[in-house]
Amino acid sequence: MSEVSARPRPLGLSSGFRVLIVDDDPDMSEFLAHMLRAEGMDATTATDGEEGIAKVYAEAPDLVLLDVMMPGVTGFEVCSRLKSDEATAMVPIVLVTALDDSASRVRGIEAGADDFLSKPVRREELIARVKTLRRLHETRRELERRRLAAEVESREAIRRAFSRYVSPRLADRIIEDAGSEGELFSRRAQRIEVVALFADLRGFTRITERTEVVEVVAMLNEYFSILTDAAYHHDATIFNMAGDSLLVGFNVPFPQEDAAERACLTAQEMVARFAPVATRWEQRYGIATGVGVGICMGEAILANVGSPHYTSYTIIGNPVNTAARLMQTAPANEVLMCGSVYHKVRALLPESSVEPRGEVTLRGKEEPIAIYAARVAVSE
């Protein structure tokens, strides 16, 4: 056991620069540790190669002073092993070799050593080399810190931008995707199976006719907060907000196997969570309001659409148009959906709450599609 490690560290001198000394001769390690501590550095010791490697992993020192000639694992081996692992490759290693041993220096360079120190050790040389490496180390750490800070800032900027359209969870996935494959949002338009959900507010136009502008804005904000919360709750992507209508999509930008179910639950949550607000507004303005929803699924185009000055990430196509048409005909507290959505979500709906509403023929399609209405029970 080394006598060095038992020696108390000088208090108040520690600078946070930690040096690991690996040497089988306790006199050498004690000497080196003494010199480094006198310079205000932290020094710990290991008496052979294996212990040295273990301590590099356990303590992550800022610098390793490594003796070459040790029984068992030699300094060259320790050096090669540490330099070939990404986790430890950045730790600077100073090989301590005999003065007359130029062959060792060549082997040391091959093993990846950062610098050399001659034995017997002259203290001026030791301190000069360690200080140089320390400055390098501190510069590198500062650069790394700045790089990380910039990366965090850019991630936060992306998160802030995207979290206006998607749930925070989805924003994280998008950022991760941007880190790996990237270009999720810049890649060219693609055809994709989507579930489109349109919601709007029945009766609101009549309220706006008799209310102050400021109040209308506050009311819209309250209404949209409820709808976007419900949408994020089920990981929807918000594509458009206009007047009092909201378009959200599922299965975009990432696949969602249960996209139809998510849409159905989102619709129910929108209607149910708005109901208490509707009650309050009715007491105040004497006008009934309520959320109406249309949902349809099918193939659509997902793209950034617009001019160089204004672009919008959006979905275009039949399911979107149909969802809009269904929303327009849905009364308050009702969800209208196309047959393909209904067949996927019927297990979620009480049978008594659903009724078929006949068929509609969509533009560009020969076959008419079946429509189903689901009433959402709201507590008054």
Partner 1 sequence: MTQSAYTVTVAKDLADLIPSFMNNRRKELETLRAALAKSDFEELRRLGHRMKGAGSSYGFDLVSTIGKAIEDGAKTSDAAAIASNLDTYEDYLAKVEIVYE
Give contact residues for partner 1 (rule: CB under 8 A): 3, 24-28, 30-31, 34, 38, 69, 71, 96, 98, 119-123
CB of 19 to partner 1, least distance (A): 16
CB of 120 to partner 1, least distance (A): 3
In contact, 334 and 375? CB cutoff 8 Å: yes
**Whose Cβ is closer to partner 1: residue 27's or residue 222's?**
27
In contact, 10 and 32? CB cutoff 8 Å: no
**Whose Cβ is closer to partner 1: residue 38's or residue 87's?**
38
Q: With b meaning 16 or more CB within 10 Å and e meaning fewer, what string describes 362-379?
A: beeeeeebebbbbbbebe
**Whose Cβ is closer to partner 1: residue 98's or residue 109's?**
98
CB of 22 to partner 1, least distance (A): 14
**Whose Cβ is closer to partner 1: residue 26's or residue 339's?**
26
Continuous H helices in 7-116: 26-38, 49-59, 75-83, 102-111
CB of 28 to partner 1, least distance (A): 5
**Whose Cβ is closer to partner 1: residue 91's or residue 94's?**
94
**Tokens linked to 179:** 């880190």
CB of 32 to partner 1, least distance (A): 8
- Cα 202 to Cα 205, 229, 278, 329, 334, distances in angstroms: 8, 19, 10, 10, 11
CB of 119 to partner 1, least distance (A): 4
- Cα 13 to Cα 10, 162, 340, 356, distances in angstroms: 6, 48, 73, 81
Q: Comparing C-alpha atoms, which of 52, 54, 50 is closest to residue 21?
A: 52
Residue with tokens 């040096």: 19
Give CA–CA dist 231/47, Å, rounded. 61
**Whose Cβ is closer to partner 1: residue 30's or residue 51's?**
30
**Whose Cβ is closer to partner 1: residue 125's or residue 151's?**
125
CB of 93 to partner 1, least distance (A): 18
**Tokens linked to 379:** 């507590």
**Whose Cβ is closer to partner 1: residue 29's or residue 322's?**
29
**Tokens linked to 266:** 């989102």
CB of 152 to partner 1, least distance (A): 45
In contact, 98 and 59? CB cutoff 8 Å: no
Residues whose CB is less than 8 angstroms from the CB of residue 23 and which lie 6 or more positions away in sequence, other chains included? 29, 32, 45, 47, 65, 67, 70, 96
